[in-house]
Chains A and B, each alone.
Chain A
């Protein structure tokens, strides 16, 4: 009963490096989401996916890339990390059955870009 997991939990990288944050869910939920959380901005949606091979941009997609080749995985890649991408990143999933359903969140990844 692992639920939704994220790795790594903490990451320090340097400006310009490529970083991939992993997200894995065991429920076979169709929808998955990536958010960033920053003080003063709350949660902002980066990308989301309605199913394998279907992804779409959220509010703040610039500088990020996602893929979803398998239902259970939804990696987020920072192609060339910048200091402004220092944040806490949360992955979430939902079953996609209706508008009133719950999103389930992972524990988050704290990313520091030096």
Chain B
């Protein structure tokens, strides 16, 4: 079936460290891929997305590249800040059918210490 697998957290880093959060997927067809972020006490918001193979999504210093050959969409940031502390969700939608349902990973909690 279609699914998203994220690395388990929590991830704890010091400020200015390099961040990678792994995300791999299983999907029929050609999915669109997303990273959403949830800051403490808030709803989710889109961080970045990529809609076809080799696309790179980027926002707020975060990047992720859609790798069809490895079915991956890993999230990276070169230098994290305390304000990046949040839960990060990888997700996909399938380009088929009439619904717009997202298939979600379980989320990865990130804590950045000063």
Q: Which residues of A contact B (CB under 8 A)?
A: 31, 33, 40-43, 45, 48, 50, 56, 58, 90, 92, 94, 96, 99-108
Contacts and interface: CB of A to CB of B under 8 A. Distances in A.
B17 interface: no
Contacts of B104: 42-43
Contacts of A108: 42-43
Contacts of B98: 50
Contacts of A101: 100
Given A102-B46, A105-B45, A94 B100 contact: yes
Interface string B42-53: 111110010100
A42 B32 contact: no
Interface residues on B, range: 20 to 34
A103 B102 contact: yes
A105 B102 CA distance: 13
Contacts of B93: 99-100
B79 interface: no
Contacts of A45: 101-102
B102 A99 contact: no
Contact of A96 (B46, B49, B89, B100): B100
Most buried by A among B42, B43, B45: B43
Given A103-B102, A107-B42, 12 more contacts: A42-B105, A42-B106, A42-B107, A43-B89, A43-B107, A45-B102, A48-B99, A99-B100, A102-B34, A102-B46, A105-B43, A108-B42
